Amino acid sequence: MKTALVTGATGFIGGRLARRLLDDGWRVTALVRPGSKPTGCPGLKRHVHDGSTEDLVRLLRRLRPDVVFHLASLFLAEHAPADVRPLVESNVLLGCQLAEAMAQSRTLRLVNTGTSWQHYHEAAYDPINLYAATKQAFADILAYYEGAHGLRTVTLELFDTYGPGDPRRKLLAALRRAAEADVAFSAGRQLIDLVHVADVVEAFVTAARRLLAGRVRRGETYAISSGRPRPLREVAAVFARTNGLRLRVKWGARPYRPREVMRPWSRGRRLPGWRPKIGLEEGFRGLGVPSGLNGKEGVSHGS
Ligand SMILES: NC(=O)c1ccc[n+]([C@@H]2O[C@H](COP(=O)([O-])OP(=O)(O)OC[C@H]3O[C@@H](n4cnc5c(N)ncnc54)[C@H](OP(=O)(O)O)[C@@H]3O)[C@@H](O)[C@H]2O)c1
pLDDT for 260-281, tens place per residue? 999 999 999 999 999 999 999 9
DSSP-derived 3-state class of residue 67: strand
For residue range 168-186, list pLDDT tens digits in order.
768 888 998 999 999 999 9
Could you confirm whether domain 3-161+194-224 is CATH 3.40.50.720? Answer: yes
Site to probe by mutation for ligand 1, drawn from 17, 39, 53, 71 as the one with most ligand atoms within 8 Å of Cβ, is 71
What DSSP assignment string belongs to 116-133?
Answer: GGGBGGG-SSB-SSHHHH
Query: What's residue 290's pLDDT?
Result: 52
Burial 70-91, CB ≥16 within 10 A → b, else e:
bbbbebbbeeeeeeeeebbebb
How large is the average pLDDT for residues 138-166?
96
Out of 3.30.70, 3.30.450, 3.40.50, 3.90.25, the CATH code matching 164-193+228-264+278-299 is: 3.90.25
Q: Pick the atom of ligand 1 nearest to 35's CA.
A: 40
Pick the closest to residue 8 from 56, 61, 50, 68 (CA basis). 68
Q: Pick the atom of ligand 1 nearest to 14's CA.
A: 16
Q: Pick the atom of ligand 1 nearest to 166's CA.
A: 19
Q: Which alpha helices (DSSP H) does 90-170 contain, by range?
A: 94-105, 130-149
Q: What's the Cα-to-Cα distance from 191 to each of 188, 234, 272, rounded to whole Å?
A: 8, 9, 25
Pick the closest to residue 260 from 128, 86, 127 (CA basis). 128
Domain boundaries in the chain? 3-161+194-224, 164-193+228-264+278-299
Phi-psi region of 221 (alpha: psi -120 to 50; beta: other; left: phi over 0): beta
Say whether pLDDT at 151 is over 80: yes
| 71 Cα to the center of ligand 1, angstroms | 6
Handedness of CA 89, 94, 95, 99 (dihedral sign): positive
